[in-house]
Amino acid sequence: MTAGAATGQAARLGWPLVWVGELGSTNDLARLLVGAGCPEGAVVVADRQTRGRGRQGRAWASPSGGLWCSVLLYPSADLPQGLLSLAVAVAVAETAEQFVPGPARIRWPNDVEIAGRKVAGILIETAGAAVVVGVGINVGIELQVMPPEVAARAGSLHLIAGRPIERRAVLEALLARLADRYSAWAAGGEAVSDAWSSRDMLRGTPVAVLHSGPAIEGIAEGINREGALRIRTATGAIRQVVAGDVHQICGPSDPSG
Ligand code: BTN
């Protein structure tokens, strides 16, 4: 399968486009499309998901009003895969800012927040040689329909903008930003790291990282070349975390997860 970005061409994303009313998870249908030989750029969108998935095995509430979509990519295996999820986060943050006053900031690795509220999440899964990029953006979600623990820390673009926003327009903007950022990622990681770092909301703050081992506490010090989170612990040592959940130990809000 030829990957546009991986061959140095601008990636074209958005064809074929499958938009359905209700699905378990768009990531699952996208995985089936891989098996059916669908090309890079194929997109699945659902109005609602009944079994939406989030990071770290969590459920992702997906009622009507959100943009729930998955994009198929076939990146070259030689490229730094850890930075791809950060490139997607940058694309999603840039997309959100086209519809609402920003800034959209990123909580490592790829939660997108505006004014301390999470407006989008990203779940990247592999399927053979393919990568399924699942993106959930709260475009027109009424927060009272979300589970209370989600509503307490979530935001929705239409509430921030104070006007209705078309999901189709958000999808088009997302695919354009994603194509750009995907190509930049394929051309070399530096541009991705710089763009991500300029939106890093944790840098310099005290954090606790929950991961497979004992929790790590310290000051967040940005990312390394592979996209791992750097934490300076009380001893002055730097720990590097490739996967986990980050909680701000103190600060204006703690909308992680
Ligand atoms: C997270 O923040 O935990 C990631 C959430 C990712 C949700 C999206 S919605 C579209 C796609 N399909 C899924 O089941 N999950 C992703």
d(CA 235, ligand 1 centre) in Å = 36
Q: Does the 17-197 domain belong in CATH 3.40.50.300? A: no
Ligand 1 pocket residues where CB is under 6 Å: 25-27, 49, 52-55, 58, 60, 62, 68-70, 111, 121-123, 134-136
Determine the pLDDT at residue 253.
45
Q: Which atom, in ligand 1's list, is nearest to the CA of 24?
A: 14
Share of the chain above pLDDT 90, in %: 81
d(CA 55, ligand 1 centre) in Å = 7
* Per-residue pLDDT at 138 exceeds 90: yes
pLDDT in tens, 201-233: 999 999 999 887 788 999 999 999 999 999 999
**Bridge partners of 217?**
208
Ligand 1 pocket, mutate which of 29, 62, 150, 167 (most atoms under 8 A from CB): 62
Determine the pLDDT at residue 9.
55
* Per-residue pLDDT at 256 exceeds 70: no
Residue nearest (by alpha carbon) to ligand 1 atom 11: 134
Alpha-carbon distance 58 to 205, whole Å? 25
Determine the pLDDT at residue 210.
86
pLDDT in tens, 15-55: 999 999 999 999 999 999 999 999 999 999 999 999 999 99
Alpha-carbon distance 66 to 46, whole Å? 9
Mean pLDDT of 3-8: 51
Q: Which atom, in ligand 1's list, is nearest to the CA of 121?
A: 2
Q: Which atom, in ligand 1's list, is nearest to the CA of 55?
A: 3
pLDDT in tens, 149-165: 999 999 999 999 999 99
DSSP code for 171: H
- Give CATH for domain 206-248: 2.30.30.100
133 vs 7, 224, 251, CA distance in Å?
A: 19, 22, 31
Q: Could you tell me the residue ranges of all domains in the chain? A: 17-197, 206-248
d(CA 227, ligand 1 centre) in Å = 20
For residue 91, which of 244, 13, 195 has the smallest C-alpha distance?
195
